[in-house]
Chains A and B, each alone.
Chain A
């Protein structure tokens, strides 16, 4: 059993928002969708939860999904507890089990001491954690989180990913989007998107192994297939031959995704 998209294409007017995109996530798996602004991350989430119609392809989704939109979904005029209670009543949960679930979620989010604070008065980190708690409330088999860690400081980000890891321990399938490749190290599978097109898809190891050519490090720019990385430059060589004076380096996920984006951009 797995959830996801099979060869999905979405068009808004004449623009392709998702171009033949496939992604699949099983219970206990975490799929991280990486891409910049305009890559199609939010569209993918909205397709997965059924808010955006598709032109072609297949969407496999369970009946119940926990969804946190990019805006966090927290109501500014409700308190922390009221936000959770409202979601519980929307799902028609009985008050006994709902109360126990809310207590548990307040404990793992560390929001117990802020239960009466209004949504508008929460810090960014608290708001995102509450958003995830609201998405988890109905114990959905699939959790879809759109940029849950955007704007969070490292401490809040770690707490948030801790919640996500707990959800995966509970055998939920998780799809989370981010603009930062380093967050993909927390995933079982990675999908890198650029302007709606798939740059890379698979387990982190498979994505690393699938990169054609080799990566070298040099002291200066070396043509169109090079980019800055710290004080040095990275150079991609498609046929693997070493540029003069360059030292081969082991590519990481950021290199692989950059190479895929470069290749896509320079394709005629």
Chain B
């Protein structure tokens, strides 16, 4: 179990993480979401025991994160942490020797035919599966994954998520950092951070459905857009037309006059981040 208990971290004058609390129970997959600079990486580094909190504490299975046996933790960084010049088997033997764990079975993972190939020659999808196998070889109770499926196609992504969910089913507490709806939807719940604070947590589809944006229709000229920006609205464009985040339909109606129709529409995943970052900046 991962417990983040009222944790804060300060770098000089900068508050990177500000009173954040959440837990990841055994068998749970929790997503950690936030724009760059929201404090995700600092939070992950404290959970990994690489950085001490300035206030509060992080506990893994009831013990301070910096003091737990490394064998409790499995970690797959974005860079994957494999030796590109070594073969798949050499990488796995090295890692299992370091952890004092048995060599994982390549056949069981559907990777039987790549044991003698150099990691550097493999596709990113295969490299990611090898990194997973390595991180899971010592049956860790806590699994930390940084954007685990970035750069992988849909089928490869489904296979990687299969092994993540399998690890959770066997009792691991899994924390996944991600920027993408497709990954966030795989998580049992997500914790969303902005400006170092936890702003909302829950099931991602429910969080997103709690937000709305405003769609503008009609004569949307530069003057109208400038007026909306001046009042603190963020103007975006997609195929549906001009969209505004951070201002209600009433406020926008006043700003644009009768030539533009203003309608409340469901927010997209990305628009929720824009709305939250604006709220927390106020």
State the Cβ distance, B182 to closest chain A Cβ, in Å.
5
Closest B residue by C-beta to A169:
B237
Pairs of residues from A and B, 9 with the lowest C-beta to C-beta distance, nearest first: A36-B153, A37-B124, A261-B155, A227-B158, A154-B273, A158-B270, A165-B237, A153-B35, A228-B162
- Which residues of A lie under 8 Å from residue B273 when comparing CB positions? 153-155, 158
State whether the Cβ of A141 lies closer than 8 Å to any Cβ in chain B. no
- Which residues of B lie under 8 Å from residue A124 when comparing CB positions? 36
Q: Which of the listed residues B34, B125, B154 has the most CB atoms from chain A within 10 Å of its own CB? A: B154
- Name 16 A/B residue pairs within 8 A (Cβ), A-sorted: A34-B154, A38-B123, A154-B33, A154-B273, A155-B35, A157-B270, A158-B236, A158-B274, A162-B238, A179-B151, A179-B152, A229-B158, A231-B188, A254-B154, A257-B153, A258-B154
Q: Within B51-104, which residues are at the interface with A (CB < 8 Å)?
A: none
The answer to whether B236 and A159 touch across the interface, beta carbons within 8 angstroms, is: yes
State whether the Cβ of A125 lies closer than 8 Å to any Cβ in chain B. yes
- Please report the C-alpha to C-alpha distance between residue A79 and residue B77 in the assembled complex, in whole angstroms: 31
- Which residues of B lie under 8 Å from residue A109 when comparing CB positions? none
State the Cβ distance, A233 to closest chain B Cβ, in Å.
9
- Which residues of B lie under 8 Å from residue A152 when comparing CB positions? 179
State whether the Cβ of A43 lies closer than 8 Å to any Cβ in chain B. no
**Cross-chain contact of A36 among B152, B269, B277 (Cβ < 8 A):** B152
Count chain A residues whose beta carbon lies closer than 8 angstroms to a beta carbon of B.
45
Q: How large is the interface on B (under 10, 10 to 19, 20 to 34, 35 or more residues)?
A: 35 or more
Closest A residue by C-beta to B186:
A230
The answer to whether B155 and A180 touch across the interface, beta carbons within 8 angstroms, is: no
Given contacts A155-B270, A227-B162, is CB(A261)–CB(B188) below 8 Å? Answer: no
The interface stretch among A15-23, A181-189, A207-215 is A181-189
Beta-carbon contacts of A146-172 to B below 8 Å, as 1s and 0s?
000011111111110110011011000
